[in-house]
Structure 1
Amino acid sequence: MMKKKLRILLIILLFLVAVIGCIVKFYGTDNRPKVAVVLQDLDSQYWNIVKAGAEKGFREFDIDGKVVAPSFKSKKDVQEYVLKNVLKEHPDVLVVSPLQSSAVKSILQKFIEHQIPVLLVDTDIPLKHKTAYIGTDNFELGRKAGELLASALQPGAKVALIAGDVISPVSGERIKGATSSLEDAGIKIVAQKIDLPNEALPARKAMTTILENHPDVKGVFATTDIMALSALDVIKKQGNKIPVIGADGIIKMVESIEDGTLTGTVAQNPYDMGYISVETALKVIKGEEVRKNINTGVDLITNDNVRQKLDFLKELLK
C-alpha cells in the first residue's frame, strides 16, 4: 500500500515538474532588456555593417536583441509585415530604419501607442513622438562631398549629380548640401539624374546618358555608393578618369581609393549607427534622457586612412 502511494506521489511530482517546465519555457526566464532592430534590408553590405554594430551593442550591454529586415529589397509592404510581427512580441524598444511608406509610418505610430519607444536609425522621418534619430546629418554629408569634389577641380568645371528620391530626407538633403558647396566653389552642375532606385543598372544608364549629353563633365557626386560605383564603371569603360564621390564607405568604394582609381570619398558610419542605437535604447529603458538627434558623423577617406578603414570593414564582415 505504501509503495503504491509513493508511486502515485512520484507520478504527481513528475507531472508538476513537467507543467512548471512548460510554464517557464512559455514565459521565458530571460529578464534582460529586449530590443528589436528592423532595417531596410540585409542583402547589401551597408546594412550588414549596421547589423554588426547593433549586435556588438547587444553583447556589450547584455541585451536580448535581434536584427531583422524584409526579405525583398525595397518592398515597403514587406517591412510593414515585419514590423507587425515585431509589435506582437512587444520589445522594450524598437530601433528601425523606416522605408518611405504611409503604411510603415502608421504601424510605427502603433508602437508608440503601445508605449514602446521608437528610435529611428539611418533614415529620419516626421514621426510624431519618436524618441530619437540616430544617423548622418545628410546635408552635412552632401556639403562635404561637394567640397571634396570641388577640391579636385578648377572653378568653372562641369559636374553631374546622381541621386535617389530627392523628396526623401536622405537623398534630398545630400543633394542640397552638395549643390551648396559646389556652387560656392564656382563649379557648374550641368546634369542631375534623380529619383533613381538604389540599383546598379539605372545608375549605369544615367551615367551613360550624362556622358552622351555632356562629354566634358569633370566630376560626379552620387548619393549612394552603389550609384557611385556604377557611374565609375561606365566612366572607366569609356576610357575616362574623373573623380566620383559616393556616400556610404562600403568596401568596394574604399578599395577604389586604395588602388588609385579614386583619390577620396566621404562615408557614413553605419557601424556606429547600429552600436549607438542599441546603446541609446538601453538608456531609454533605464529612464535616462537622450538627445533627440544623435549625429554619427561623416568620415573623409583618402590615401592617408584608406588602409585602416579597409582593414576595419573586412574584419567586421568576416
Structure 2
Amino acid sequence: MKKLKLFGGAVVISCLALIAGCTGDEEGSGGDSSEESVAVVLKTLSSPYWKYVEAGAEAAGKDLGVDVTVVGPSAESQVIEQVNMLEDQVSQSPGAIVVAPSQPDTIIPVMENASQSLPVLLVDSDADFEGKTTFIGTENYTAGQEAGKLLASMLQEGDKVVLIAGALGNPSTDERIKGAREVLEEAGLEVVAEQAADSDRTKAMSVMENIFEKNSDIKGVFAANDDMALGALRAVEAKGSDTKVIGTDGTQEAVESILNENLAGTIAQSPYQMGYQGVENALKTIEGEDIEERIDAGIDIITKENAQEQLEFLNSISK
C-alpha cells in the first residue's frame, strides 16, 4: 500500500506553474511514498527471550522496508503497563499491531477495539477474540509435554519433581506447566509442588529454596521459562543436589549452562522467527493478502548433544 505526501502550498503552486515537469518527476522518482508502520507490543523487553523476538521484528522491518516500533513493560507481571502501552501504540495509528498478551482476559478489550481499525496479530501467547488476524507461536502445551518427556527420561518412577510456573494467568506458561504435569504423572513421577515465580530468576531461586525445606529429595524440576530454570538451578547448586532442571525458551545463557553440564536441557522456541514472522505477516495483511489463521513457529529439544549448534545460531542473531 503506497501513500503520497503533499508538502505544502509552495509545491502545489510550482506544479500548477510547471505541471508537465512536476508530473514527470513524481512519476519517475517514487520517493514520496512512505513506509508502512507496524507496532509490536511484547510482554517485556527485560529478558533474553523477548530480546530475540525484538531482534526478529526489527530484522523483518529492515528487510521488508517497514517502520517497526517495539515496546514492552518492565516485567511480564506488569500487565496494566502493557495495556497502557498497547493503547498508546493504537492511538498512533500504525498499519498493523503485533501483540504478545501477558494476560489475555485483561487486554482483550483493547485488542478487540484495535481490531476495528487495524489488523491485530498475536505472537507467543494466543487469545480468543473476534477480529484477531492470526496467532504465530509455539504450541505451549506441546512444549510442556516434550519437557515432561525429557525430564522423565532422566528419572525413575516414583521420583519427586517440582513445577515452577510463570505469572498467574499467563497462558503460555500455564499451558507448559499443564503439559509437563500430564506427562510426568503418566510416567509415574510424583509432583510434590507447583509454585509461581512470575518468570523471574530471583523469585524462582527463592521458591526452590522454600520447596527444598519441605522436600529435600527432589530429583527433577521443570520451569516454564529459562530464567526461572536458572534461578532454580542456583538453589540446587547451593544445596549440592544432583536435581535435574529443565527450562523452556532456549536462551543463550540456558544453552551455555547446558554445555557446562549445569542445566539438563531446555525446550527451545523460535522467538526470533515469531518476531520476524509477526512483522512479515502484518505487512501482508496491510497489503491485502490472506494469511493462515494459525502459524506454528515450532520447537527444538536442546540437550548437551545439540547445544553447541543452538548456541552458534543464537550468536548469529544477537545484537
Task: Report the TM-score when normalising by structure 2.
Answer: 0.86
Rg (Cα) greater in structure: 1
Q: Hey, what does 1:79 align to over in structure 2?
A: 82
Q: Hey, what does 1:119 align to over in structure 2?
A: 121
Show CA shifts across 1:107-141 (max 9, x none).
22221122x01001112122222111111111001
Q: Hey, what does 1:223 align to over in structure 2?
A: 224
Q: Output the amino acid matched with 2:37.
A: K
* Unmatched tracts of structure 1, length 5 or more: 1-13, 21-27
1:170 is paired with a residue whose SS is: helix
1:218 is paired with a residue whose SS is: strand
> Counterparts of 2:207 and 2:73 in 1: how far apart (Å)?
28
1:294 to partner: Cα distance: 1.2
> Counterparts of 1:73 and 1:264 in 2: how far apart (Å)?
23
Q: Hey, what does 1:52 align to over in structure 2?
A: 55
Q: Output the amino acid matched with 1:183.
A: E
Q: Output the amino acid matched with 1:192.
A: E
2:38 is paired with a residue whose SS is: strand
Point out the more displaced range, 143-152 or 290-299.
290-299
User: 1:19 and 1:85, CA in 2 relative to 1: closer, same or farther beyond 3 A?
Assistant: farther
1:101 to partner: Cα distance: 6.1
* Unmatched tracts of structure 2, length 5 or more: 1-7, 15-30
1:65 to partner: Cα distance: 2.0
Task: Report the TM-score when normalising by structure 1.
Answer: 0.86
1:253 aligns with 2:247: no
Q: Hey, what does 2:146 align to over in structure 1?
A: 144
1:287 is paired with a residue whose SS is: coil
Q: Hey, what does 2:302 align to over in structure 1?
A: 301
Select which of 189, 193, 196 maps to 2:195. Answer: 193
1:246 is paired with a residue whose SS is: strand
Question: Is the contact made by 2:230 and 2:263 (CA closer than 8 Å) also made in structure 1?
Answer: no
Q: Hey, what does 1:169 align to over in structure 2?
A: 171
1:16 aligns with 2:17: no
> Counterparts of 2:195 and 2:116 in 1: how far apart (Å)?
40
1:308 to partner: Cα distance: 1.7
Q: Output the amino acid matched with 2:293.
A: K
Select which of 59, 62, 67 maps to 1:64. Answer: 67
1:288 aligns with 2:289: yes
> Counterparts of 2:311 and 2:180 in 1: how far apart (Å)?
25
Q: Output the amino acid matched with 1:35.
A: V
> Counterparts of 1:133 and 1:278 in 2: how far apart (Å)?
12
Q: Output the amino acid matched with 2:303.
A: T
Question: Is the contact made by 2:52 and 2:272 (CA closer than 8 Å) also made in structure 1?
Answer: yes
Q: Hey, what does 1:24 align to over in structure 2?
A: none
2:255 is paired with a residue whose SS is: helix
Identity among equivalent pairs (%) = 42
Q: Output the amino acid matched with 2:52.
A: I
User: 1:188 and 1:74, CA in 2 relative to 1: closer, same or farther beyond 3 A?
Assistant: closer
1:73 to partner: Cα distance: 5.7
Aligned CA RMSD, in angstroms, stands at 2.3
User: 1:60 and 1:46, CA in 2 relative to 1: closer, same or farther beyond 3 A?
Assistant: same
Question: Is the contact made by 1:72 and 1:78 (CA closer than 8 Å) also made in structure 2?
Answer: no
